[in-house]
Chains A and B, each alone.
Chain A
Amino acid sequence: MSSLLPYTDTIISYTIAAVALPLVASLINFCLPVKSKLAGWVSTLAILLGCVFSAMVFAAVWDQQPQHVQTMWFTIGTTKIFAGILLNNLSVMMLLLVSLIALPVHIYSTAYMKYDDRYSRYFTYLSFFCFSMLGLVVVDSLVLFYAFWELVGFSSYLLIGFWFTKDKAVQANKKAFIMNRIGDIGLLSAIIILFAKFHTFDIATLFISDNLVFKSVIHDGLWISASGQIPAVWQYVACIGVFMAVAAKSAQFPLHTWLPDAMEGPTSVSALIHAATMVAAGVFLLGRVYPLFTDSELTVLAVIGCFTAFMAATIALTQNDLKRVLAYSTISQLGYMILAMGVGAYGSSLFHLATHAFFKCLLFLVAGVVIHEMQHIKEENDLDIDPQNIQYMGGLRKKLPLTFIVAVVGSLALIGIPLTSGYLSKDGILIQAFEWSEGRSAWLKLIPAGALFTSWLTAFYVSRLIVKVFFGEFRLLKKYPEIKLHISDGGWQYRVPLILLAVCSLFPLFSLNPFFYEKAWLFESLKPAEFMARENIYHTIIPIGVNILSVFVIYAAYAIYVKQNTFSFPQTGFFYRLSYNQWYLDKIYRKAIVKPILGLGKTCFWFDRNVIDGLIHLIERTSRMVASLTAWSDKHIVDGFLHLMAALVQSIGNFARKFQNGKVQYYLYSMLLIVLVLFILKILI
């Protein structure tokens, strides 16, 4: 399984270097004083070198023979646990993608976090995140995969709660970790099931080279393979477990509610972790374990992906928090990726993952600039406003010209307008979804239809966001006419990452042909072997239909929010409230899950105190009662009998003593009496 090409060792050591450098940076930063400005450069340098190494690894492995090396980690019983590196198209793509996205975010962060009191801690955590994420994509064993999977969640926990004196932030990171834990136990269960079934944790053996999972069959309620059989239900449980993990990390319904809250962290963190990389880990996991899913299980995935995409898009329509809109848009786009996996568009899903990473990271960094400037205005003028609320913004295109331009590029990519990368990847998903639904039941036709509809919703909420932030008049100025504005696009640490990411959000990086997604090199290498070339009508109709309508929707948004000359939406209806309150899911979870579990805890404790301890106390009281009873009987019965005997003896003695009083007449009298008594007795008896 391990190929022995001559350059193997160098490639593997490059990979190790790319993964380990951020860890080293993290350790160095941990030892630095908390305010040291050196930390930023240590981390950035590490990720820059990591980027170079990743690029070399990518160049060597992409479209080549997969590489797999491993070494023994430990033995437990007779099971040997290996640790190793598995490089195939999927992992090297992720390796390069994560490093590429992390680099601009690092540069950006050096400026964004400049005035923070715990500057070096921030970079400690950020580098640690990069290490975990890069480790996650290259490891070859499910145990290690799980380990990095949790470490990614852990570093996200640290970063969401980076400003730990902020109550909302620490509530959010707790929620994020616990939600992710739900996914983790799903993944753990799935891994354990696979281990019990196939006796190995090796990803290559399970899914790639030997593909044991694919070769196993479900027959007669049993899940059968060469290594034995277990009830088929455990195949479903394993799939559910994997799905839970995917849903938690990639924020799919019903485990998505942590992601919007996670926006409490620094915006640069949101850009890297909660938009581009970590949340894509779920899709990556699906890519790794794809053969596990049967056709019907994939359909379920598609349904959930489609629903998530739709639901998140409807919520994004009404949110006023800049980052929250973007967060829901992330959830929606992740829904597309899961949907794509579900309809078998494996290549398109990963393609969308890659393109989305760039433009979503870009949009978040834009949001960071905007929020930073709003915060600046707020502090300078001592206002009491929420710097993330888009109701206060407007007309910023003149103040922040560069930010505006890159924001438009990012938004067009998110909507999927031609010439952007988003067009290429999203079109692929829509077209393949329609193809997939051919010949399936009418209900399943709702999936591509829903995805299509969602893409128009996307066009609307993205336009609303851009229009509200950058067009029209500056509403804050309207409200507080006296405030002074000193805002700009910021230094090169802001500009360079933005420009870099904006360029990457355009088509040339992925395809020289801006209109046909099949021509994108990334897609061509990841697509399944039996992929059909364009032969049906969908390939023409869908892109045209989507885009023409999108343009109308964009214009509508512009008209509504800038010109204000058309109708405005009612802000009282049921649908508005449903959307604004995020489908009430947080409330439902709190009432239906969190409270009962806390109640269960309280009940258990009550049970402990009153029933179990009550029993103990009852035993105690009973034995005390028995003891006092025996003490009483000891005192009154046993001792009483003894005392009685003593008293009896005493009284007899006293009585007999009376006869011995030394008077002769008395002796004679008593003798006479005894004789008389004897005589009488004798007569009587």
Chain B
Amino acid sequence: MNLLTLLIFIPVLFALVIVLLPSSQRGSFKYITLLATLLQLGISIYIYINFKTGAASAGINHEDQFQFVQKLPWIGLNLGSMGKLQIDYFVGIDGISVTLLVMSALVMVVATLASWEIKSNLKGFFLLFLLLDMAVMGVFCALDFFLFYLFYELMLLPLYFLIGMWGGVRREYAAIKFFLYTLFGSVFMLLVMVGLYLSVNDPATGSHTFNIIQMMNPANYAPGSVFSAAAHQTILGVPARTVGFVVLFIAFAIKVPVVPLHTWLPDAHVEAPTPVSIILAGVLLKIGGYGIIRICLGIFPEIASSGAFWLGLVGVVSILYGACNALAQRDLKRMIAYSSVSHMGFVLLGIASQTAEGVSGAVMQMVSHGFLSSMLFFLVGVVYNRVHDRDIYHFRGLGTQMPQYTAFVMVGFFASLGLPGFSAFVAEAFTLAGTFKSPTVNGLLPYWMAICGSIGILLSAAYFLWTLQRMFFGKVSLKGGEVWKIALTDVSIREKLALIPMAAAALALGLMPSLVFGKINDSVLALIQFLQAK
């Protein structure tokens, strides 16, 4: 049994168990889910440990260098004169995906632990949860565009229901907004995918293919086909490959999210229940960044280079705009949601720089943000569960009321604002270093972008520290008075179990960045080389 396949489909097996169990057993559902995610975590760690490094296993555009590969013919229809429809079940990982897999698996465990708060319709919730789990793992492993798209769309459905049914007051608005935003992106992605399919021929069989890696090789494009670089086709007067890149980029940029395509995020976060927020921030956003690296850069490298300035620009705008917005928030969850926008801007900036430091920093930032944002949303959930309020102005002096909780919040906040010793510092510092190096190395980005990016680091200190001071320090004063005082108990063992791994992971990556860099280095170098060769 292929490990990746196992990793992807374990949740489905457990979901089947949940389906078959009667509702009277609903108390066990969360444990079943926890078992599934723990199993997944175990497998992903095994994969991580056994993941080979070295230039010979870099991956990117070499199919034979991918690891844990499973490739099975899946749909093969003979369409007569139109050739053969060839869709493979093709999964495999390289350095870019391996660290994200481990991160996602850990986030899933924490999200499960956060699901203890869910009280209604447990069967439905955990079923959808596990379905979502399967889909996100699938996205990180899929190397066939059709399969990728399938998993990508499959994420949407459970999320829509998870937000729309278990969410807050305005859950329907948020769910619809989220759904439409993402659907808008992916519908056009479908068109480009079909276009690519019709343009690319598998050199082995001669038929069209959805193989992403073969799409990276210009030699595989049929002469005169719409996305062939040599054919210079245009769509509505715009070069076809530019259109393809932009469409795919928008689809992923919505996920990242990039300003101005980000407004679904605060609403979705504010309305979503804690576990869904955790998955949303921890894993979903990373799919955007991952997609840009794997698909946008991989398939349209020359457009990525010529458009690097604009990529970097939206990255910088996201960093600053997200941070400014976070400054203005009084809802704790919304504040953290906007800080996500700001932090994910670094990912885009790093990718745009196309330097080893920048791209590595971007991947590191994705992993780091996965841990830290999950931790932060979990922390918001802790307070929200107790008093059903998270307005920053309604609390004061929580440091006295909940000392351990405050300690975790401080770890989360300081790690997020880039305190050295934690992962975000390494990620952001090297993203900026790569960005600043870009003008001398490849001339893609101007120098000032790095300097502007660093202002985001300053602003993040401002909003996090303001929140700390306003909400956690000072004398105890709560809007709900004595009732809240009784309700606001310190973190429980279960909550600590969820928080400590996150904090530990962020700390470990900050002290030993080689945990990530060691695994991704060869792939990043191969990617840079691939981008330079175009």
CA distance A151 to B400 in the complex (A): 24
Q: Mark B159-202, 1 if CB is under 8 A from A, else 0.
A: 00000000000000000010000000000000000000000000
Whether A605 contacts B325 in the complex (CB less than 8 A), given A76-B360, A79-B357, comes out as: yes
From A154, which residue of chain B is reached at the shortest CB distance? Answer: B419
A153 to chain B, nearest CB (A): 9
Please report which residues of chain B, range 507-528, place their CB below 8 angstroms from some CB of chain A when the two chains form the complex: 512-514, 517-518, 521, 524-525, 528
Q: Is residue A654 contacting chain B, with contact meaning CB distance below 8 A?
A: no
Q: Mark A214-233, 1 if CB is under 8 A from B, else 0.
A: 00000000000000101100
Q: Is residue B458 contacting chain A, with contact meaning CB distance below 8 A?
A: yes
Give me 4 other A-B pairs in contact (C-beta within 8 A), A151-B420, A612-B263 excluded.
A79-B356, A166-B474, A598-B327, A612-B260
State whether A192 touches B450 (Cβ < 8 A): yes
**Cβ-neighbour of A601 out of B327, B421, B455, B475 (below 8 A):** B327
State whether B263 touches A608 (Cβ < 8 A): yes
Whether A185 contacts B512 in the complex (CB less than 8 A), given A170-B469, A170-B473, A616-B263, comes out as: no
Chain A residues near B329: list those with CB within 8 A.
605
Please report which residues of chain B, range 414-471, place their CB below 8 angstroms from some CB of chain A when the two chains form the complex: 414, 419-421, 425, 429-430, 432-433, 436-437, 439-440, 447, 450-451, 454-455, 457-458, 461-462, 465-466, 468-469
Whether A189 contacts B263 in the complex (CB less than 8 A), given A164-B399, A165-B473, comes out as: no
Q: Is residue A530 contacting chain B, with contact meaning CB distance below 8 A?
A: no
A-B pairs with beta carbons under 8 Å apart, 11 shown: A74-B518, A151-B420, A165-B399, A174-B468, A184-B458, A188-B429, A188-B432, A192-B432, A195-B437, A604-B328, A616-B263
Whether A76 contacts B357 in the complex (CB less than 8 A), given A185-B454, A196-B440, A228-B440, comes out as: yes
Q: Is residue A178 contacting chain B, with contact meaning CB distance below 8 A?
A: yes
Q: Is residue A518 contacting chain B, with contact meaning CB distance below 8 A?
A: no
State whether A150 touches B430 (Cβ < 8 A): no
Q: Is residue B355 contacting chain A, with contact meaning CB distance below 8 A?
A: yes
Chain A residues near B227: list those with CB within 8 A.
none
Whether A174 contacts B455 in the complex (CB less than 8 A), given A165-B474, A234-B447, A604-B321, comes out as: no
State whether A150 touches B419 (Cβ < 8 A): yes
Chain A residues near B361: list those with CB within 8 A.
76
Whether A77 contacts B355 in the complex (CB less than 8 A), given A147-B425, A189-B450, A601-B325, comes out as: yes
Q: Is residue A665 contacting chain B, with contact meaning CB distance below 8 A?
A: no
Chain B residues near A166: list those with CB within 8 A.
474
Secondary structure type dominating chain A contacts: helix
State whether B458 touches A182 (Cβ < 8 A): yes
A456 to chain B, nearest CB (A): 39
Q: Is residue A487 contacting chain B, with contact meaning CB distance below 8 A?
A: no
Chain A residues near B425: list those with CB within 8 A.
147, 150
Whether A181 contacts B518 in the complex (CB less than 8 A), given A188-B432, A192-B433, comes out as: no
Please report which residues of chain A, range 155-174, place their CB below 8 angstroms from some CB of chain B when the two chains form the complex: 161, 164-167, 170-171, 173-174
Q: Mark A11-41, 1 if CB is under 8 A from B, else 0.
A: 0000000000000000000000000000000
State whether A165 touches B397 (Cβ < 8 A): yes
Instruction: Count contacts on B: residues with CB < 8 A to the other chain.
Output: 59
Chain A residues near B439: list those with CB within 8 A.
230
Q: Is residue A613 contacting chain B, with contact meaning CB distance below 8 A?
A: yes
Q: Is residue A143 contacting chain B, with contact meaning CB distance below 8 A?
A: yes
Q: Is residue A519 contacting chain B, with contact meaning CB distance below 8 A?
A: no
State whether A185 touches B458 (Cβ < 8 A): yes
Whether A151 contacts B419 in the complex (CB less than 8 A), given A77-B528, A165-B400, A608-B325, comes out as: yes
CA distance A167 to B473 in the complex (A): 8
State whether A161 touches B357 (Cβ < 8 A): no
State whether A177 touches B521 (Cβ < 8 A): no
CA distance A150 to B524 in the complex (A): 29
A227 to chain B, nearest CB (A): 9
Whether A196 contacts B436 in the complex (CB less than 8 A), given A597-B327, A601-B324, A601-B327, comes out as: yes
CA distance A613 to B462 in the complex (A): 26
CA distance A613 to B397 in the complex (A): 35
Chain B residues near A612: list those with CB within 8 A.
260, 262-263
B518 to chain A, nearest CB (A): 7
CA distance A75 to B513 in the complex (A): 9
CA distance A78 to B524 in the complex (A): 10
Q: Mark A429-473, 1 if CB is under 8 A from B, else 0.
A: 000000000000000000000000000000000000000000000
Q: Is residue A560 contacting chain B, with contact meaning CB distance below 8 A?
A: no
Q: Is residue A600 contacting chain B, with contact meaning CB distance below 8 A?
A: yes
Secondary structure type dominating chain B contacts: helix
**Cβ-neighbour of B420 out of A146, A234, A601, A603 (below 8 A):** A146
CA distance A230 to B439 in the complex (A): 9
A201 to chain B, nearest CB (A): 9
Please report which residues of chain A, range 59-86, place their CB below 8 angstroms from some CB of chain B when the two chains form the complex: 73-79
Q: What 4 A-B pairs have minimum CB-CB distances, sorted nearest first? A: A77-B356, A147-B420, A601-B327, A601-B328
CA distance A165 to B357 in the complex (A): 42
CA distance A76 to B525 in the complex (A): 9
B383 to chain A, nearest CB (A): 18
**Cβ-neighbour of B465 out of A164, A174, A193, A234 (below 8 A):** A174
Whether A147 contacts B421 in the complex (CB less than 8 A), given A74-B512, A192-B433, A196-B433, comes out as: yes
Q: Is residue A602 contacting chain B, with contact meaning CB distance below 8 A?
A: yes
State whether B328 touches A181 (Cβ < 8 A): no
Q: Is residue A637 contacting chain B, with contact meaning CB distance below 8 A?
A: no
CA distance A73 to B426 in the complex (A): 12
State whether B324 touches A77 (Cβ < 8 A): no
State whether B451 touches A237 (Cβ < 8 A): yes
Most chain B C-beta atoms within 10 Å of own C-beta, residue among A166, A185, A603: A185
**Cβ-neighbour of B517 out of A74, A148, A177 (below 8 A):** A74
CA distance A178 to B469 in the complex (A): 12
State whether B324 touches A170 (Cβ < 8 A): no
From B451, which residue of chain A is reached at the shortest CB distance? Answer: A189
Chain A residues near B262: list those with CB within 8 A.
612
Whether A181 contacts B514 in the complex (CB less than 8 A), given A165-B397, A192-B450, A195-B437, comes out as: no
CA distance A79 to B472 in the complex (A): 41
Chain A residues near B528: list those with CB within 8 A.
77
From B474, which residue of chain A is reached at the shortest CB distance? Answer: A167
B111 to chain A, nearest CB (A): 27
Whether A77 contacts B263 in the complex (CB less than 8 A), given A147-B425, A171-B469, comes out as: no
From A234, which residue of chain B is reached at the shortest CB distance? Answer: B447
B260 to chain A, nearest CB (A): 5
CA distance A192 to B434 in the complex (A): 9
State whether B465 touches A178 (Cβ < 8 A): yes
State whether B436 touches A193 (Cβ < 8 A): yes
State whether B328 touches A151 (Cβ < 8 A): no
Whether A76 contacts B458 in the complex (CB less than 8 A), given A192-B433, A234-B447, comes out as: no
State whether B524 touches A195 (Cβ < 8 A): no
State whether B458 touches A75 (Cβ < 8 A): no
A334 to chain B, nearest CB (A): 23
**Cβ-neighbour of A185 out of B326, B400, B457, B472 (below 8 A):** B457
Chain A residues near B514: list those with CB within 8 A.
73-75
Whether A75 contacts B421 in the complex (CB less than 8 A), given A196-B436, A604-B321, A605-B329, comes out as: no
Chain B residues near A170: list those with CB within 8 A.
469, 473-474
Q: Mark A73-107, 1 if CB is under 8 A from B, else 0.
A: 11111110000000000000000000000000000
From B430, which residue of chain A is reached at the shortest CB distance? Answer: A76
From B321, which residue of chain A is reached at the shortest CB distance? Answer: A604
A160 to chain B, nearest CB (A): 11
From B528, which residue of chain A is reached at the shortest CB distance? Answer: A77
Chain A residues near B474: list those with CB within 8 A.
164-167, 170
A238 to chain B, nearest CB (A): 11
B271 to chain A, nearest CB (A): 14
Please report which residues of chain B, range 477-534, place their CB below 8 angstroms from some CB of chain A when the two chains form the complex: 512-514, 517-518, 521, 524-525, 528
Chain A residues near B525: list those with CB within 8 A.
77-78
From A187, which residue of chain B is reached at the shortest CB distance? Answer: B454
From B441, which residue of chain A is reached at the shortest CB distance? Answer: A196
**Cβ-neighbour of A161 out of B266, B473, B475 (below 8 A):** B473
B427 to chain A, nearest CB (A): 11
From B267, which residue of chain A is reached at the shortest CB distance? Answer: A613
Most chain A C-beta atoms within 10 Å of own C-beta, residue among B357, B420, B439, B525: B420
